[in-house]
Structure 1
Amino acid sequence: MSVLHIVEVTKTFPGGTNAVDSFSLDVADGELVCLLGPSGSGKSTLLRMVGGFEQPTGGRITIDGEDVTHLPPERRPTGMVFQSHALWTHMNVFKNLAFGLKLRHMPANLIKEKVEAVLELVGLAGYGDRMTTQLSGGQQQRVALARSLVLEPKILLLDEPFASLDQHLRERLREEVRDIQQRLKITTLFVTHGQDEALSMADRIVVMANGKTEQIDRPDVVYRNPQTPFVAGFIGTMNLIEGEVQGGHFVRADFTVPLPIADGPATLAIRPESLDLAASDKPGASVHRVTDYGTHGLVDLDLADGTRLKSMVAHPDLFRAGQGIELLPRAVAAYRNNQQIYRSSP
């Protein structure tokens, strides 16, 4: 069992800035949880506190029931992989991986066995004699992962490990890391600001903003049922429209949608894939631009007051700039006072 508990953890930097504010999270044995948020949301600071590289101002961190809140990194059962790889360039790959094992006074034959096994695991068998400077960025990141895994940590910490790689390599590596994590069943806390990484890798996503939790849920739930306007706007592409509810209808410019909530201001949320279009001569919306991505099209639309919306369509060739359009939402959500108050089914 390798269970991580973060209880009411706070980090306040000099000057009174709260980087993390009363944050709590339980990560189950073998679970991969992603901390997702924009720069400055506190996700990396939180990860560094779990790893022992930052000290919390308040709160408690336990691993398998042991309080590790104030232990230094070398005394915690954690392994951390940094964005910068942090490899020793004067050592070859084998020595990079063996260093931590030597500090544990492990016999040389066992060190060799463990290093070779973990290199095989990350797809770098036979690379032990190479200098780290001779490796590509992706290979260096595999070595950084192997260096953490060879120590057999209870908790694996990943701090935006793919951020410096190109998109194709990033996609391939995240699949490989997820496969390794599931094979080893190692409890993992992963930081990223990339939505695709979070949605494709995580068992659960923690969306953070201003040091606090906005929503914790499975990736599909976070995408399909965001609980706050921030989550709705941050995860994927979302049309967020400010308007008024009057007599059971949401109104913005000439755009109206039935909405069975009390009158007053509201924010309407519609995913582009849930916004159907039909040609129309009535006042409403018009096509601003059409982009054909091959597999689908994206239509940028303007309401009468200039509000810009997006719709995903199967046949972009049916639309042209300036065309009048009727908007036909298949699923909507509504927010008031920063909370979801209504959600329709598609």
Structure 2
Amino acid sequence: MARLTIKGISKSFGATSAVRDVFLDVEDGELVCLLGPSGSGKSTLLRMIGGFEEPTAGNILIDSKDVTSMPPEKRPTGMVFQSHALWTHMDVFNNVAFGLKLRRLPKADIRERVEQALVLVGLADYAKRMTTQLSGGQQQRVALARSLVLEPKILLLDEPFASLDQHLRERLREEVRDIQQRLGITTLFVTHGQDEALALADRIVVMRDGCTEQIAPPDRIYRQPETEFVAGFIGSMNFVRTTVRGGVSQHAAFALSVPVADGEVVLAVRPEALSLVAANGMGGGIVHRSIDFGTHKIVEVDLADGARVKAMTSSNSAWAKGASVEPVASAFRAFRDNRLVHESGAIAARQNDRVFGHA
């Protein structure tokens, strides 16, 4: 097993900075997700760790050994790409065995290790199949086996499930997590899917414009986002722009105590931290629609200023379209210039994973 240390890594392509001054320690056996939108630098960072891109500045250490200038084939890393990158003229066995043959291992050792790797990824009976005869999920398992058979100290996964359908993606990510935990292998996983990061990671690195916005365990990222960007990127979040005067929000529907300097702030409220009561005065909103997810409902409410917020309610709630309601926030965070300036209340544990991904 191995520990990964990234010290001030940067990467520029001409005048464009893809990654800027990233510091990260990944502990032995830890699974860390690099999460961010397209162009955030997460794949470039992963490729630098694997040796496929040369850093402009900084150092990469594996078990305290500097591997920054070491070529990919010399590093104790294994990389699984989104495209699978399998050889179509070879069967499954030879695809998985390819790296071992380059190392000139004895044939008996190669066979034993390949067979063990195929059992590990659930393809023990597919050794003689051509890769063109496999489904997308099976091809991804072959790509994973090809990396694991080399017994890398660090496994690098670059959006390996992006091309698969939702159900297959969910099943494979659970299998990968089980394999990672059984082997205890240090792993970095690149994704732009928040649900994958929340389901897989011990810690999440949220990236934006080549920089790290926040590094923390999933629950902390969800409940305690440190920037407005992270608050909006992870899970479903209501944002309400308001002006603070004398420590009180001037928004008609969110007249909350916000003890910060006067000026504009953005209030961030999770749907599960927002409840609804029947309106008995001005400043509320009108129910736009109610969406039933079986275990709960999401009620969308149009406010007087044109904003729309979402509240998570019980499955037996009966808010009708057009009803006048008042939103009540039990917890919120206030941001100014993307930075957290105030927090109030505690955001409860998520009630159902399906709250993630709601538009």
1:148 & 1:79 partners in 2: Cα distance? 5
Matched residue, 2:350: none
**Amino acid paired to 2:301:** L
Is 1:77 aligned with 2:54?
A: no
Matched residue, 1:212: 211
Matched residue, 2:130: 131
**Amino acid paired to 2:47:** R
1:167 & 1:179 partners in 2: Cα distance? 19
Matched residue, 1:340: 340
Contact 1:299 1:313 in 2 (8 A): yes
Deviation, structure 1 residue 292: 1.4
Deviation, structure 1 residue 291: 1.3
Secondary structure at the residue paired with 2:243?
strand
Q: Deviations over 1:84-137 (max 9, x none)?
A: 100000000000011100111100001000000010011111211000011111
Matched residue, 1:270: 269
1:134-283 equivalences in 2 (<5 Å): 134-283=133-282
Secondary structure at the residue paired with 1:188?
strand
Contact 2:253 2:327 in 1 (8 A): no
Deviation, structure 1 residue 300: 1.0
Matched residue, 2:65: 66
Matched residue, 1:331: 331
**Amino acid paired to 2:327:** L
Deviation, structure 1 residue 254: 4.4
Deviation, structure 1 residue 290: 1.4
**Amino acid paired to 1:85:** H
Secondary structure at the residue paired with 1:46?
helix
Deviation, structure 1 residue 251: 2.2
2:287 & 2:221 partners in 1: Cα distance? 30
1:291-302 equivalences in 2 (<5 Å): 291-302=291-302
Deviation, structure 1 residue 253: 4.3
Contact 1:272 1:311 in 2 (8 A): yes
1:87 & 1:252 partners in 2: Cα distance? 57
1:304-323 equivalences in 2 (<5 Å): 304-315=304-315, 317-323=317-323
Contact 2:273 2:330 in 1 (8 A): yes
Matched residue, 1:303: 303
2:158 & 2:253 partners in 1: Cα distance? 46
**Amino acid paired to 1:318:** A
Give unmatched runs, 5+ long, in structure 1: none
**Amino acid paired to 2:299:** V
Matched residue, 2:290: 290
1:215 & 1:191 partners in 2: Cα distance? 15
- Which has the larger displacement, 62-71 or 247-256? 247-256
Q: Deviations over 1:181-215 (max 9, x none)?
A: 01000000110000010001000000000000000
2:220 & 2:20 partners in 1: Cα distance? 24
Contact 1:285 1:302 in 2 (8 A): yes
The alignment's TM-score, normalised by the length of structure 2, stands at 0.94
Contact 1:282 1:324 in 2 (8 A): no
Q: Deviations over 1:299-338 (max 9, x none)?
A: 1111111111111111465111211111111111111232
1:150 & 1:165 partners in 2: Cα distance? 23
**Amino acid paired to 2:115:** E
2:200 & 2:292 partners in 1: Cα distance? 28
1:219 & 1:307 partners in 2: Cα distance? 28
1:28 & 1:302 partners in 2: Cα distance? 46
**Amino acid paired to 1:268:** L
Aligned-pair Cα RMSD in Å: 1.1
Give unmatched runs, 5+ long, in structure 2: 347-359
1:89 & 1:96 partners in 2: Cα distance? 9
Contact 2:6 2:24 in 1 (8 A): yes
Number of matched pairs: 345
